[in-house]
Amino acid sequence: MVTLLHPAAHALWMTVVMIWQLFWGLSLGFLLSAIIENVVSRKRMSALLPDASPRSIALASLFGAASSSCSYAAVAMARSAVRKGADFTSSITFQFAATNLVLELAILMGTLIGWPFTAAEAAGGIVMIVMVAVLFKLFLPDTLKHAAVEQAKRGVAGRMEGHAAMSMDASEGNARTRLLSREGWIAISHSYVMTWSMLWKDIGVGVLVAGALSAWVPDSFWQRFFLSGHPLLSALWGAFAGPLIALASFTCSVGNIPLAGVLWRGGISFGGVASFIFGDLIILPILNIYRKYYGARMSAFMFVAFYAAMVVAGLAVEGVFTAAGWVPARPSGGSAAHAAGQSITLNYTSVLDIVFGLVFVTLLGVFLRTGGPDMMRMMNGDPHHARQPDSPH
C-alpha cells in the first residue's frame, strides 16, 4: 500500500505545482484574449473572407490570432463563419490560427517550457496554415467542398456553439470606447469567465496526466520511444509521432502544454513538441465534430490534410531552429524530477498568481452580477434561436 501511495502523492504534488506555475499565465492570456475579442469587431467576416486568396488567408489568420485558444470553440467559430458565407478554406485557416497563434498559448508556453517554443509554435503555425491552404487548393474537390458547406448550413450541434456565436457577433463601435466603457468590461468579464469554463477540464486533465507521467514513467522509456540515441531518426520520428500522441490525449492546445513539457524532458524532438501541440485539432472528439459539421468524407480529408501539415510544420521548425542554433538545452534530471519544479516558494510566480487571482475574482464578480450565468447556460444550445424568440423558426 505504501509503495502505491507514495508515487500517487508525488504525482498529485507535481500536479499542484504545475497549476501554481500555470495560473498567472492562463489568467493573463485569457484576459488579453477577452479584451481583443470584445473590442475588435468581426461582424463583417463573411465579406472580408470571400475566397481562398492570399489576402483572405492572411486576414483569417489575423482574425484567428485575436480569438479563442480553445480548440472546440475555434472549430465552432470556423463553422459559424462558413454558415455566414465565408470561404471554406479561409474559415479553416481561421480555425488553425485561433488555436495556435493566440496570446494566451504563447504566454503559457513561454512560462512553462521556454520562449524558444513560443517562437517555434508561431513559426510552425504559419507554416501549417500555408500548408493547409495549399493542400486544400490542390486536392480538395469542389464537389466535396460544396457538400461540406451544405452540411455546415444544416446547423448540426457540436460543442461550444454559444461561445462561437458570441465571438462571431462582437459588438460594433470604436475599440477605445469599448475598452473604456462599462458595457465593454461586462463583455470582457463574460468572455474571460466563459473561457475558463470551457478549458478547466482540458487543463485539469492535462496537468493530471502530465503529473502522473512525470512521476511514474521512467526516463528510459521516453528515451527509447523517441529514439533519443539517434538524432536524425529522433527528429523525424518526433514530428510524425507528436500529432498521434495528441490525438490520444483528448485535450486542447492549452491543456497539452504541461504534457508537452514532460515529453520534451523525456526526449521528444524540438519539432516534435510543436507538432504535438498542433495535434489538438485532430483529437478524436474534434474529428467526430468535423463529421457532424461537414460530413464523414470531409472529416477524413481534413484529418489527412491536417496531419500532413502538422508533420511538415514540425520538421520545418526542427530544421530551421537547429540550423540557427535556437534549440534550447534539454533540462537535466529527466521528466520525473523536473517536469514542473518541485516546490512552491515566494517568488515572482507567487506574486503574479496573487495579482491575477484578484483579477479572476473581480471579473468573476462582474460576470455573476451582469447575467453571465444565464448566458453560459445558452452556450451549448442554439444561441441564435434563443436570442430571437419571435423568429418563425
pLDDT, tens digit, 9 for 90 and up, residues 301-329: 999 999 999 999 999 999 999 999 999 98
Name the residue type at position 263: L
CA-nearest of 97, 20, 88, 45 to 66 is 97
Q: Is 7 helix (H, G, I), strand (E, B) or coil?
A: helix
Q: How confident is the model at residue 382 (pLDDT cuts 50, 70, 90)?
A: very low
CA-nearest of 84, 62, 33 to 254 is 33
Instruction: Give the integer Cα–Cα distance in Å for 329 and 385.
Output: 53
229 falls within a domain: yes
117 pLDDT above the threshold of 70: yes
Instruction: Give the integer Cα–Cα distance in Å for 147 and 298.
Output: 9
CB 316 within 8 A of CB 127: yes
pLDDT for the residue numbered 250: 66
Domain residues for 228?
Answer: 21-346
386 pLDDT above the threshold of 50: no
371 falls within a domain: no
391 falls within a domain: no
pLDDT for the residue numbered 6: 58
pLDDT digits (tens, 9 = 90+) for 221-232: 888 999 988 989
What grid cell was written down for 242?
507528436
4 falls within a domain: no
313 falls within a domain: yes
369 falls within a domain: no
Name the residue type at position 2: V
pLDDT for the residue numbered 106: 83
When the pLDDT of each residue in the chain is averaged and rounded to a whole number, the result is 79
Instruction: Give the integer Cα–Cα distance in Å for 122 and 363.
Output: 29
Angle at 345 between CA 7 and CA 339, to 5 degrees: 40
pLDDT digits (tens, 9 = 90+) for 157-179: 555 555 555 555 555 555 667 77
How many domains does the structure of the chain reveal? 1
384 falls within a domain: no
pLDDT for the residue numbered 113: 84
pLDDT for the residue numbered 135: 96
64 falls within a domain: yes
Over range 282-293, report the average pLDDT: 87
pLDDT digits (tens, 9 = 90+) for 1-56: 434 455 566 667 767 776 777 787 778 767 876 776 666 555 555 567 888 899 99
- Of the listed ranges 199-203, 263-267, 303-307, the one predicted with least confidence: 199-203
Burial 96-131 (b: 16+ CB within 10 A, else e): bbbbbbbbbbbbbbbbbbbebbbbbbbbbbbbbbbb
Instruction: Give the integer Cα–Cα distance in Å for 162 and 198.
Output: 11
Instruction: Give the integer Cα–Cα distance in Å for 30 and 246.
Output: 23
Chain position carrying cell 466535396: 144
Instruction: Give the integer Cα–Cα distance in Å for 173 and 169.
Output: 12
* Residues 136, 142, 144, 149, CA torsion sign: positive
CA-nearest of 149, 123, 194 to 377 is 194
Instruction: Give the integer Cα–Cα distance in Å for 45 and 10.
Output: 49
CA 228 to chain centre: 28
